[in-house]
Structure 1
Amino acid sequence: MIKKLMAAAFLILGMLFSTGVFATERAEQAWEWIDSGAVVIDVRTPQEFNGGHLDNAVNIPVADLSRADLSFVDKDEQIVVYCRSGNRSGNAKQILLTKGYKHVHNGGGLQMMLSVNQLSSSE
């Protein structure tokens, strides 16, 4: 019984650690794209957007994305989408890929992106 509990604990810790590492890498990749001129789309609600967002981000809530006018974005441009946690931006990425956009990156959550950017700018 104790061995099973310890194995479960290690599994959970491993999942938590790998998720954090993945989120950091995802945010770092997003900043590389943004620094290269990617279009940035915040897929949170307008209320969330008004509470703070990345510079130059366009607010298109994920619920509106499939019917939004995206004529300002070329299908070959890089696009970074983000939200609060990475879930809605994951859905947004799939919507954009379905619409024919070729280079879409899920940047994950806003706070992770901000913390990664602060770390890299202080180095």
Structure 2
Amino acid sequence: MHPLFLALLATLFTWGMTALGAGLVLVTPRMSQKFLDAMLGFAAGVMIAASFWSLLLPALELAEESGQIPWLVAGMGFVLGGVFLRLADNFLPHLHIGLPESEKEGFPTHWKTNASWCIRFNSWQ
């Protein structure tokens, strides 16, 4: 089979699985905390595996091939990524679930938020 067709099939498969997983929200009126915890744990495991196999391992191999210290290069990238996320959390305006709009974090802004999804999310729990 042609590689482009295989790529299309793989894309459609991953899209379908994502849609199926997201569709659980539409057919499940109330999800237990145990089920939500299991889904969150599974998603975390998938993301850790994807991060290692697609990002960290290739970075280690590339650093080793170029004569650098692999753990140092990967460690610097990890630390810089953490610093970036911390700065983004401090500066970008956002609202945590369950908090009133008056407790927004980040730079002050006049942007309006649509908190209706927060209310729906909290009603599932």
TM-score using structure 2 length: 0.31
Q: When you count strand as a share of all residues, which structure comes out higher?
A: 1
Q: RCO (CA 8 Å, sep 6+): is it higher in 1 or 2? A: 1
* TM-score, normalising length: structure 1: 0.31
Larger-Rg structure: 2
